[in-house]
């Protein structure tokens, strides 16, 4: 039994063969047409990302409705603005240092300069009131002036010392979480994620354990999608942290963007360097420990040991001398 048994007896076989050949040709032509017109799968995604970027940029540049002005903040802005402190070079340095301390508010610079102006007067007036009027402490005349001058100096340098302490503590937290963040970046890069996606994923994973570096990576990922130049976003990360380790990461990412080197390979090399550096620092601390413990041992351990060992003999000698 074959296919020709199902055909009518009086029908020509050549006609069916031609029809089947025509149908086969049409099917092949349709398949070729579909293959030639396959669209790039990244095209719609890139178009959607471009539209989202334009929307966010328009939202950022659009005029916003002004919130009700806080009276205290308005007073601070008036005082600082009349003295033109925000237009000096010191304002730029103060802004960078406040970013390094984690203060990203637009009014942070204004509050900082106002405190540097107001605290010396406030501390000095409080010292004068406490010493001369309330007389909480009885002091001599010269000593009173020294205490008042000390209060003024503390008020003048208090914000600077507080900011310096906040920067050092935040840098220590960033340095502590950097190796883990770099290891996660290597894993994400080897998984095929882009730099933006890798930074977003690492920021989400480190949100609870290392919130400082998580915030920095999340902000960098947002700036990479918003700013026209990717280098500007990485430079902003470097400026907000001012940490040698993050500076090395930024330089590696910039070289990867410029020369097209594999991101995972570059991050893996950098991760190995950070791991070796951390091991060397641990060995250095362990090597300094005996020298550090020498002074406490001499002061707190040896004198009690001598008393315990020699004390009974001294007491016995004293008793024998009393007997004579």
**318 in a domain, yes or no?**
no
**Cβ neighbours for 147, distance < 8 A, ≥ 6 positions apart:** 127, 131, 139
62-78 pLDDT, tens digit per residue, is: 444 444 445 778 888 88
Quick check: 98 and 239 in contact, CB under 8 A? no
The encoded tokens of residue 179 equal 């190796």
> Is residue 285 a part of any domain in this protein?
no
Say whether both 181 and 220 belong to one domain. Answer: yes
Average pLDDT, the chain: 80
pLDDT for 64 equals 47
Q: How far is CA 313 from CA 54, 241, 318, 321, 323, in A?
A: 89, 63, 9, 12, 15
Residues 230 and 137 in one domain: no
Reply yes or no on whether the pLDDT at 48 is more than 70.
no
- Name, in order, each residue with C-beta under 8 angstroms of 16's C-beta and a sequence gap of 6 or more: 7
User: Which pLDDT value is given to residue 28?
Assistant: 65
Question: What span, in angstroms and rounded, lies between the C-alpha atoms of 269 and 182?
Answer: 10
The residue segments making up the domain with residue 215 are 172-279
At 112, the pLDDT band (50, 70, 90 cuts) reads very high
Burial of 9 (0-12, 13-18, 19+ CB in 10 A): exposed
In this structure, are 132 and 202 located in the same domain?
Answer: no
Is 271 in the same domain as 183?
yes
Residue 60 domain flag: no
CA gap 205, 77 in Å, rounded: 39
pLDDT more than 90, % of the chain:
17
- What confidence tier does 83 reach under pLDDT thresholds 50, 70, 90? confident
Q: Is the pLDDT of residue 164 over 90?
A: yes
Residue 121 lies in a domain: yes
Look at residue 43 and tell me whether its pLDDT is greater than 70: no
Boundary (domain end) residue, out of 121, 145, 168: 168
From 264, 279, 294, give the residue that closes a domain: 279
117-121, 230-234, 270-274, range with the lowest pLDDT: 270-274
In this structure, are 149 and 208 located in the same domain? no
Q: Are residues 150 and 245 in the same domain?
A: no
| Of 130, 147, 168, the domain-final residue | 168
Whether residue 196 lies inside any domain: the answer is yes
265/195 same-domain check: yes
Q: In the chain, pLDDT over 70 holds for what percent of residues?
A: 78
Task: List pLDDT tens digits, range 213-265.
Answer: 999 999 999 888 888 888 899 999 999 998 888 998 888 888 888 887 788 88
- Within this chain, do residues 197 and 253 fall inside the same structural domain, yes or no? yes
Yes or no: say if 243 and 174 are a contact pair by the CB < 8 Å rule. Answer: yes
How many whole angstroms separate alpha carbon 76 and alpha carbon 61?
26
Residue 277: pLDDT band with limits 50, 70, 90: confident
Q: Note whether residue 221 is domain-resident.
A: yes
The answer to whether the beta carbons of residues 188 and 163 sit under 8 Å apart is: no
**Is 182 found in the same domain as 272?**
yes
Say how many domains are in the chain.
2
Q: What is the mean pLDDT of residues 86-95?
A: 87
Instruction: Name the 3-class secondary structure at 40.
Output: coil
Residue 67's pLDDT is 46
Q: How far is CA 82 from CA 2, 91, 95, 107, 110, in A?
A: 102, 14, 19, 16, 12
Which of 8-12, 102-106, 256-260, 268-272 is the least confident region?
Answer: 8-12
- The owner of tokens 């929307």 is 55
DSSP annotation of 62 reads S
Tokens found for residue 27 = 């099917």
pLDDT band at 57 (very low <50, low <70, confident <90, very high): low
In this structure, the answer to whether residues 180 and 264 fall within a common structural domain is: yes
H helix or E strand, kind and range, residue 298: none
Mean pLDDT: which of 158-167, 207-216, 299-308 is highest? 158-167
Shared-domain flag, residues 162 and 213: no
Question: Residue 250 corresponds to which tokens in the numbers above?
Answer: 């930024």
pLDDT in the model for residue 74: 83
Considering 81-90, 114-123, 269-278, the range whose residues carry the highest mean pLDDT is 114-123
Mean pLDDT, residues 30-35: 61
Do 154 and 191 fall within a single domain? no
- Rounded mean pLDDT, 45-52: 56
- Rounded Cα distance, 181 and 36, in Å: 44
Q: Lowest-pLDDT range, 55-59, 139-143, 191-195, 242-246?
A: 55-59
Asked if residue 205 belongs to a domain, the reply is yes
- The token pair at 207 is 């949100």
Write down the pLDDT at residue 50: 61
In a domain, 322, yes or no: no
pLDDT of 134 higher than 70:
yes
Q: What is the pLDDT of residue 10?
A: 53
């Amino acid at each position: 039994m074959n296919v020709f048994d199902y055909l009518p007896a009086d029908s020509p076989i050549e006609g069916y063969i031609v029809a089947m050949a025509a149908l086969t040709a049409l099917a092949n032509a349709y398949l070729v047409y579909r293959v030639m017109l396959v669209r790039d799968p990244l095209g719609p995604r890139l178009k959607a990302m471009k539209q989202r970027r334009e929307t966010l940029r328009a939202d950022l540049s659009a005029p916003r409705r002004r919130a009700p002005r806080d009276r205290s903040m308005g007073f601070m802005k008036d005082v600082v603005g009349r003295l033109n402190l925000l237009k000096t070079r010191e304002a730029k340095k103060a802004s960078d240092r406040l970013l390094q301390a984690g203060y990203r508010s637009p009014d942070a610079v204004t509050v900082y300069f106002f405190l540097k102006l107001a605290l010396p007067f406030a501390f000095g007036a409080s010292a004068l009131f406490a010493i001369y009027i309330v007389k909480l402490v009885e002091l001599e005349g010269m000593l009173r002036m020294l205490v008042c001058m000390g209060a003024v100096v503390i008020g003048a340098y208090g914000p600077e010392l507080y900011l310096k302490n906040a920067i050092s503590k935040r840098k220590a937290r960033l340095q502590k979480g950097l190796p883990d963040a770099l290891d996660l970046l290597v894993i994400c890069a080897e998984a095929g994620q882009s730099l933006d996606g890798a930074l977003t994923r690492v920021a989400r994973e480190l949100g609870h354990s290392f919130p400082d570096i998580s915030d920095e990576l999340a902000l960098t990922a947002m700036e990479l999608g918003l700013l026209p130049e990717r280098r500007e976003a990485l430079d902003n990360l470097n400026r907000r942290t001012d940490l040698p380790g993050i500076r090395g990461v930024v330089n590696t990412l910039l070289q990867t963007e410029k020369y097209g080197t594999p991101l995972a390979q570059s991050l893996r090399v950098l991760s190995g360097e950070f791991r070796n550096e951390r091991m060397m620092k641990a060995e250095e601390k362990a090597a300094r420990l005996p020298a550090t413990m020498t002074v406490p041992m001499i002061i707190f351990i040896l004198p009690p040991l001598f008393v315990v060992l020699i004390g009974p003999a001294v007491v016995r000698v004293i008793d024998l001398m009393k007997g004579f």
